Amino acid sequence: MKHAYILLVFIGFGIRLAAFAINMPFLVDVGTFQAWAAMLYDGGLSNFYYSDAFTDYPPVYMYVLWVVGAIRHVFGLAFFSPMFNLVTFMPAIISDVITGLLIYNLCRQVFEDDSDNTPFWIALAYLANPAVIINSAVWGQVDSIHTLLLFLALYAVSKKQTLPVYLLYGVAVLTKPQSLMVAPVFLYSAFYYCKERDYSFKAIATMAGYAVATFAFMALISLPLAPGFDLSPIIRQYIDTLGSYPFASVNAYNFYALTGGNWREITPFYALVSVVAISGVTIMSFWILHRNWGRESVFFTAALLFIMTFVFSVHMHERYLFPALLFLLVASIFRAGRDKADKSMWVLYAVFSVTLFINCADVLLMSYGVRLFTIGMPQLFPEAFRSIDEAMALVSFVNVVMAVYALKVGRGIVK
């Protein structure tokens, strides 16, 4: 299609600006980001993690917010004003559009005959996805940024690149801790590198060197926020972030929400389920990658890790499923390149897009005192499901079922 890139840019931005005009941001998150932006620019990067303020994000996004704070300062923008909100949302919106363009470019590489404009429509399936739009353009969240970084890192893995893989992954980890969910893919890529070279001393030493280089690069990125080369506040903040919200589910419509665990303390049973599930999906991820190392399995395994962690791990928020959508779509592209009849990954992408949108929309509306929908039926088993209404129960149940289906799809990849 002629001018497809330009058209996708206009559509991507146009839809998001229209969604932004709804003017229903998640005020707690947006207020926090805007306060941080002002702190970073007015007080300086080096003082940020030494303040008494609540600062639970790692360093990379702080550089983005420094720019946001600079724009606020230059133009005198008021907190929560439409223009300052737009400036705050714009990095995630731009990341969405860039991701859509990369999807289009990837499709053109995979599909030899694009006379039916398939690459354009697939890219549009992401850019026009309500679950993607609500995250960046309505809520004001930043999951699009670390998802884009993870996409670039995983694509480098699938192309069997080496050092760029780990440097990009390091940046993603320093953007959002949830990037650690796909660590098994990058661990296996290091193992595969050594395996291809018969576990030679040179290969192992090279991987060790890449690991050192990655940690050094992450430290270098963090130094402007660590005066006197003291990284301890950043490391302590990162550890505290991983352990924050000690609840089974934090508005994530998953197994725990389905069984009454939303905003409930983690019981021994919930802890056991979480450990078993994460251990199991990690083992399965290594198995899939070992049996079928390739582009499709790399992206599907990344999606599976996010899906299973979101559905069966404790501490989950409603948005932590977000990266799985992109990785499912990319895996679907690679699957369609060799087997157009198999629609299983498209089904996963479509269903999880719906459930994630409902989950995020419901939580966003709750912050304004309303719910997306309730059927009004009397609750069954009120003691066991004391904190559940119909919307949460229905979406949680679908997510659990689709997570099991994703395991089945993953098993089929290795056949």
Each domain of the chain, given as residue ranges in start order, spans 245-415
Q: Give the pLDDT score at 240.
A: 67
CA-to-CA distance for 246 and 376, rounded, in angstroms? 30
Alpha-carbon span 120 to 97, nearest angstrom? 13
The predicted pLDDT at position 386 comes to 43
Task: Say if CB 126 and CB 99 are below 8 A apart.
Answer: yes
3-state secondary structure 57-103: CCCHHHHHHHHHHHHHHHHCCCCCCHHHHHHHHHHHHHHHHHHHHHH
CA trace torsion 221, 222, 224, 227 (10° rounding): -150
Kindly state the tokens that stand for 84: 């300052």
Coil/strand/helix, residue 348? helix
Per-residue confidence (pLDDT) for residue 390, from 0 to 100: 76
Q: Is the pTM higher than 0.85?
A: yes
pLDDT of the chain, 415 residues: tens digit per residue: 668 999 999 999 999 999 999 999 999 999 999 999 999 999 999 889 888 778 888 899 999 999 999 999 999 999 999 999 999 999 999 999 999 999 999 999 998 766 678 999 999 999 999 999 999 999 999 999 999 999 999 999 988 778 889 999 999 999 999 999 999 999 999 999 999 999 999 999 999 999 999 999 999 999 998 877 778 777 777 676 666 678 999 999 999 999 989 989 999 999 999 999 999 999 999 999 999 999 999 999 999 999 999 999 999 999 999 999 999 999 999 998 777 768 999 999 999 999 999 999 999 988 888 877 665 444 444 444 445 677 888 899 999 999 999 999 999 887 6
For 176, the token pair is 């959002």
- pLDDT score recorded for residue 339: 74
pLDDT for 50:
83
pLDDT of residue 106: 95
